[in-house]
Amino acid sequence: MTYSLDQDARAILLPAFDGLDFGDVMEPFLEKGGCSVLIGETRDEYVARAMSQERLAAETPAVFQAVIEKLKASCPDLIVAVDQEMGGIQRLQGLAPNLPELEDATRLSDDALADHCFATADAARKLGVSMFLAPIADVIDGRNSWLQGRTMGPDAETVARLVSGYIKGVQRAGITAVTKHFPGFNNLDGDPALVDVSLQTTRDHILANALPFTAAIAAGTKAVMTGPAPVAAIDARNAASTSATIIALLKERFDFKGLIVSDDLDSPATLRGQSLLETAIASLNAGADLLLVAGGPHLDALSDGLVAASQAGALSAERLADAAARVRKNATGH
């Protein structure tokens, strides 16, 4: 089947929403070629690392599933992503069995850990979810307000074992694991979602802390998410999600062949004074396949801008088509 530029431009976008009231935006987006949605959380829930009491009271598995089924009427092969982090944010709190607490997870055998993660993912799959933006493979050995309360510890070997068990269990249930945030952000002076900040860690230290990413790829993670801030020792100018050098490192040194997902392109540390369209073009040109953006009525203008960029030569039509094909392949379960 052949697809138009318009369809490809929508297929590579992962629009994020903080509630379930997005049908008026998402249904026409999907009808025009989109195939992904991130059902996210509010900023307050993100900061609290927990769903609100109001959400827990209002959302039931039936309500959640019905919203997804309505979207699938427009796009049967729909990627439905959520943050479902072991030790961090669990968007499916109250809707699916919780992932193990970190203290418990470290005591479980590899098989028992995978089985526990499978149970959560299996329940999520029955709700219509197909992608977890997790596990977090960053090893924090400094300070990092952005990832505080979300990571799996300061020891790379321990994190690598937990990451591997998580991926094996989740993907056995048919959920895509998106290991994040490559190449690892051990120490940041600010939250990249709020300020323009860069990782100042040495390259050798970054690579030493990257063992969990190696373990994730060995475990078969279907996707990897690049980070939202520049890594000064590798590419001081561009955020990891817009850096051809960082993505080449992932593909070549780490030998990753799967889907590459950007972090939130709306983050100040990713935008770095550029427009969202310019940032999206840069991310695609760098080698990312699926671009995480805030959902809303602007999706049509963003998609049209990508089409115009391709027609003008600022974005290769072949690169756009390749990214879209890789997203659609994931959407069909391959």
pLDDT band at 105 (very low <50, low <70, confident <90, very high): very high
- Print the domain residue range for 232: 5-331
Structural domain count, the chain: 1
pLDDT of residue 112: 98
pTM confidence score: 0.97
pLDDT of residue 276: 98
Name the strand (E) or helix (H) holding 120: helix 110-127
| pLDDT tens-place string over residues 168-215 | 999 999 999 999 999 999 999 999 999 999 999 999 999 999 999 999
Residue 239 pairs with which residues in a beta bridge? 230
Q: What is the mean pLDDT of residues 299-325?
A: 97
Question: Nearest-CA neighbor of 187 among 178, 195, 198?
Answer: 198
Q: What is the mean pLDDT of residues 276-296?
A: 98
Name the strand (E) or helix (H) holding 238: strand 235-239
Q: Which two tokens stand for residue 190?
A: 């600010």
The mean predicted confidence, pLDDT, of the chain is: 97
Q: Which two tokens stand for residue 313?
A: 């030569």
pLDDT band at 237 (very low <50, low <70, confident <90, very high): very high
For 190-224, the three-class secondary structure string (H helix, E strand, C coil) is CCCCCCCCCECCCHHHHHHCCHHHHHHHHCCCCEE
* Cβ atoms within 10 Å, residue 294: 17
Question: Nearest-CA neighbor of 262 among 78, 112, 133, 141?
Answer: 133
Instruction: Give the Å distances, CA to CA, from 120 to 44, 55, 104.
Output: 24, 19, 15
CA Rg value for the chain = 18
Contact 109, 162 (CB under 8 A): no
Place of tokens 């138009």: 4
pLDDT band at 333 (very low <50, low <70, confident <90, very high): confident
Residue partners of 255: CB distance under 8 A and separation at least 6: 217
For residue 258, what is the domain's CATH number? 3.20.20.300
Residue partners of 111: CB distance under 8 A and separation at least 6: none
